[in-house]
Structure 1
Amino acid sequence: MVLSGQFCHHILLRECHVKNANENSSLWYHVGNGVIRFSPMEFCLVSGLTFGEYSESSLELFKRKDSRLRRSYFQDSKVHVKMIVDWFRNLGPNNKNRDDDIVKLALILILEMALVGKDDRTSILYWALELVDDLDAFNKFLWGSFLYDRTFNSLSTCLLGRDDKFKNKFIDKLKEKVDAPVKRKVERYNVYGFLTAFQVWAIEAKPKWVTLGYAVRVNNVAPRILNWQCTETPTFVEIHKTIFKFKNLTIYKNLGPSDEEAGKPYWMGMDQLQYVSPDVDGCGSEDDDEDDVDDVNHDDIEGDHPTKTFKKN
């Protein structure tokens, strides 16, 4: 699965507010004539990770400094993701490390790089290094709640205070002539969390991404993240002209479980989360025609990004 930063950026520029929505736990994006929701329910269906009653205090038991794995393999030093990567690269065929420790450190590497979304220069989650020493506790941990919390907070604040700047750049980029691109300072921002799940959710919500060949369905199983393959990385302008330019897109506002998914263990925790189906507040459009690039304005990409913290209802 190739993560398309440009595709995710297009979605983030379209955040909007909806009436009666719990903005402490869900995000809504204006696409075409409607809105699509990203919430714990969609995240759970895509990722297959478990949700339930979760709080930071539940991690206190594992926030000890005497981690056996840290002491045994990293001399109690500050552990960066790259140190674990290098540790694996240095493993030889005759290594004398415990097989279960190799598995545990592999799980930490997957957690940090694929799920938490860190690069190799950052420190690891030390409580997770302690937690993984008990594989049963590690497997039972509410990773869905934890990772959605992290992903939600990053998505909802990554453009905070810079919305207009990025929207203006969006408009300018669409108006540029292909044969005479304008050189400008590159603006960047960081997004952390399980962004692959965010991208797969967007694919499920907007089938046009599939019909254009940017995503290919390779399976029909649960969880849904196993069903998709993305190998294309189209440019920002290509994505707009082939997907977001059209008002009459087919979209699925909310994702719901199939009968099979409703019986999966990871879905059981969703019973503890209650949602109101909100009304759209200024996010829709009556126009079914195509956008003209020359007419792009702020109304086409409305929304803002208030600071939010994920809380259970």
Structure 2
Amino acid sequence: MACKAKLMIPEDENCFGHLLLIEDLKWNSQIVHGLLLRKADPKTVTQVNGIKFIVGNKLIQFTAQQFCLITGLRFGKLPFIPKATNENCSLKRKYFSSNKPATLSDLHTAFIECTDDEDALKLGMVYFANFVLLGTEKHVLIDMRYLKLAEDLEEFDKYPWGAVSYAMTNASLLRAICAEYQRVKVPQKRKMPKQRGKRAQTRMRSGRPREYIIRGFGFALQVNTYPAIKYLM
């Protein structure tokens, strides 16, 4: 990944450094999908302190505290960040000065083509936050506040990225597998095609395909599930 190649710096000098040092962590959609099929009914089990799953006779919780321990990301109150403009943000002025709304695809292009080492690092931090921690797709508009935040890397490192990423992940997991999907207890077995990204697809007894996307940092849920994998089999 180009982002990882440009951000190979000591972990103690960057809030994302420890995540960049992780090797061979592969997304396993079967594990996550199997867990989501066992999501506890919010009508009978409260989800206030995180999402709960019933696997066998075990209750598995996925809380903000567990997310924090797994990811090592900072939590806390979100500070106010002014929106980046051509006047107050050099990154905006240099790479996204057009009046046309900029998407994350434009961020990808700017980061890959950037020849200034300092700007590349700043753009790379925003790139990592959006594509890895938030799981955002390329067609989504850039949150210009993050460009402004990246102007000061010390403040960027202090930002509670764990809280932002967990909120996105938690909301995505709560939405994943709609009520109609959950009514189907056993999906039909069929060969799963290879797909890019964190997508999972299966076919219901009605023959209609159902698809959902996990946003945020779903790897944290996957890691949290490892001790209970044997109960998913």
Q: TM-score range by the shorter chain?
A: 0.7 to 0.9
Determine the C-alpha separation between the residues in 2 that align with 1:158 and 1:65.
35
TM-fit CA distance, 1:23: 2.5
Larger RCO (CA under 8 A, 6+ residues apart): 1
| Cα deviation 1:97-156 (Å, max 9, x = unaligned) | 3x2111000111111111100122222222111111110110001111121112111211
Which of 53, 66, 75 pairs up with 1:29?
53
Q: How does 1:23-172 map to 2 (within 5 A)?
A: 23-52=47-76, 54-55=77-78, 58-59=79-80, 61-66=81-86, 67-76=89-98, 77-91=100-114, 95=115, 97=116, 99-159=117-177, 162-168=178-184, 170-172=185-187
Within a 5 Å distance, the mapping from 1:136-285 to structure 2 comes to: 136-159=154-177, 162-168=178-184, 170-173=185-188, 184-203=207-226, 205-206=227-228, 208=230, 244-245=232-233
Q: What TM-score does the superposition give when structure 2 sets the normalisation length?
A: 0.72
Cα offset for 1:2? 1.9
Q: After superposition, what is the alpha-carbon deviation per residue over 1:251-289, rounded to whole angstroms, capped at 9, x for unaligned?
A: xxxxxxxxxxxxxxxxxxxxxxxxxxxxxxxxxxxxxxx
Select between 27-36 and 194-203 the one with higher mean Cα deviation: 194-203
Matched letter for residue 64 of structure 2: P
**Equivalent residues of 1:25, 1:152 under 8 A apart:** no
Q: For each residue in 1:53-110, what CA deviation from the matched residue of structure 2 results, as whole angstroms up to 9, or x when unmatched?
A: x24xx33x3334343211211224422222222224435xxx4x3x211100011111
Cα distance in structure 2, aligned partners of 1:196 and 1:173: 26
- Contact preservation (8 Å) 1:132, 1:138: yes
Residues 43 and 148 in structure 1, CA contact (< 8 A), matched pair in contact too: yes
TM-aligned CA distance change 1:89 to 1:142, over 3 Å: closer
State the TM-score, normalizing by the size of structure 1.
0.55
Provide the secondary structure at the position in 2 that maps to 1:30.
strand
Q: Is the radius of gyration larger for structure 1 or structure 2? A: 1
- Aligned AA (2:91): L
Instruction: Give the gaps of 5 or more residues in structure 2.
Output: 1-24, 191-202
Mean CA deviation greater in 143-152 or 20-29: 20-29
Distance 1:49 1:21, change over 3 A: farther
CA–CA distance in 1 between the matches of 2:129 and 2:232? 32
Report the Cα distance in structure 2 between the residues aligned to 1:135 and 1:83, rounded to whole angstroms: 21
* Contact 1:50 1:142 survives alignment (8 Å): yes
Instruction: Find the partner of 1:6 among 10, 19, 30.
Output: 30
Report the Cα distance in structure 2 between the residues aligned to 1:154 and 1:144, rounded to whole angstroms. 15
Paired with 2:44 and 2:139, the residues of 1 have a C-alpha distance of: 41
Deviation at 1:190, TM superposition (A): 2.5
The match for 1:218 is none
Q: In the aligned structure 2, how far is the partner of 1:33 from the partner of 1:134?
A: 49
Amino acid at match of 1:139: D
Query: Do the aligned partners of 2:35 and 2:232 also contact (CA within 8 Å) in 1?
Result: no
Residue 195 (structure 1) shift: 0.9
Cα distance in 1, alignment partners of residues 106 and 42 from structure 2: 44
Aligned length: 193
C-alpha RMSD over aligned residues: 2.8
Measure the CA separation in 1 of the matches of 2:207 and 2:43: 38
Structure 1 residue ranges without an equivalent (≥5)? 209-242, 246-313
Deviation at 1:20, TM superposition (A): 11
| Pair 1:18–1:190, CA change in 2 (3 A) | closer
